[in-house]
Structure 1
């Protein structure tokens, strides 16, 4: 089996099925795609169809990080319902890209510093500090991004 280079997150869900079909229709060989999701039964079906598979929950940041690291293209069917390509960039390239979008240089510099701090693991501690501060349960990444994306399309 060829090494998978495209990762489809949420592949076992309704949108993921369409993303996989679209990739295969574009002559992407199933063995070059890792279909990632939570539904074990569906992952078995995808493996039988020739896809590489990975059981992962998006709330498992370590598992997702390890999975993402091995792929050149990341497709997030969970939130955007369109292809997303991962491209590693240096901090300098990130800052230049942010400024090229019209962002203030000071803000771009702050965000790059924050990104470097996150990459170094400074925020890897898991706790209930934020929930206690907010006085309510926190919103997960997928739920927050989905709500944000829906807000953009509604407005």
Structure 2
């Protein structure tokens, strides 16, 4: 099979970040027929096919299927997964890309992935190591915390006027998915990003009081930040019907934030965008 001059394969295309990545690529003039969107959401894949994209329904645990689809493309975007076995899946993509002599692989990692104090990024660091060791030409984009992660808290704050979290006095240089997707599209469509790692943070270290204030603007009512201890948050979550496993996961996320994982690391994101990063209110109200 003849491979087009440039054919871009996007793993994770049916997820929230993938949706924005595809739109950002189109906005930068990439033709949809030169992009293959890979994911598991068949309804979303049907929509993308109707929009002119090539599509493949595939679970990344299917190593043979991964190898087959990678071999038909020159460039690969690997949006990091969330499955428990995501490291094995990532390595499968990297191995397939190496075997197919892929021209460039772009990977969405996690901010501070090289800091072993933050266990949340262990899979990201292992993926980065495998990618660098593969000898492939790569670009690593270490993404910060999504502002949109706070949207789920809006419903509770609407009723209580409180945003409770076990994050202490932490700051987060959160950014919108749209900004992070646009940054990926920029590096995938311009030169000068070979074997570069970008640490992508928002322009501002937001406090949780800042986030509560933005929620107040969105909800048009007073909202205050209430710092709570991890055990208190766990009890609040389970008391509201959240199962114990999910409650522990959410508490652990807050503890990770409290440790400073998502504080600002530089201006790579705004430099790639060529503009300031999106603020809290705009990101919380974006469609």
Task: Compute the TM-score of the two structures, normalised by the length of structure 2.
Answer: 0.29
Residue 145 of structure 1 is matched in structure 2 by 123
68, 75, 81: which is aligned to 2:77? Answer: 75
Of the two, which has the highest radius of gyration?
2
Structure 1 residue 22: Cα displacement: 1.3
Residue 30 of structure 1 is matched in structure 2 by 32
Structure 1 stretches of 5 or more lacking a match? 90-142
Residue 53 of structure 2 is matched in structure 1 by 51
Query: Within 2, Cα distance between the matches of 1:70 and 1:54?
Result: 12
Query: Within 2, Cα distance between the matches of 1:144 and 1:69?
Result: 28
Alignment check: 8 A CA contact 1:19 1:77 kept: no
Q: CA RMSD in A?
A: 3.2
Q: Which has the higher strand share?
A: 2
Residue 186 of structure 2 is matched in structure 1 by none
Task: Compute the TM-score of the two structures, normalised by the length of structure 1.
Answer: 0.51
Residue 118 of structure 1 is matched in structure 2 by none
Residue 8 of structure 2 is matched in structure 1 by 6
Change (3 A) 1:66 1:24: same
Query: Within 2, Cα distance between the matches of 1:11 and 1:73?
Result: 14
Structure 2 stretches of 5 or more lacking a match? 82-93, 103-120, 127-141, 144-198, 200-260, 263-287
Partner deviation per Cα, 1:105-126 (whole Å, 9 max, x = no partner): xxxxxxxxxxxxxxxxxxxxxx
Alignment check: 8 A CA contact 1:16 1:78 kept: no
Change (3 A) 1:63 1:39: same
Structure 1 residue 76: Cα displacement: 1.2
Paired residues in the alignment total: 94
Query: Within 2, Cα distance between the matches of 1:144 and 1:68?
Result: 25
Partner deviation per Cα, 1:14-40 (whole Å, 9 max, x = no partner): 111111111111100001100000000
Residue 61 of structure 1 is matched in structure 2 by 63
Partner deviation per Cα, 1:23-74 (whole Å, 9 max, x = no partner): 1111000011000000000000000010000011111111011111110010
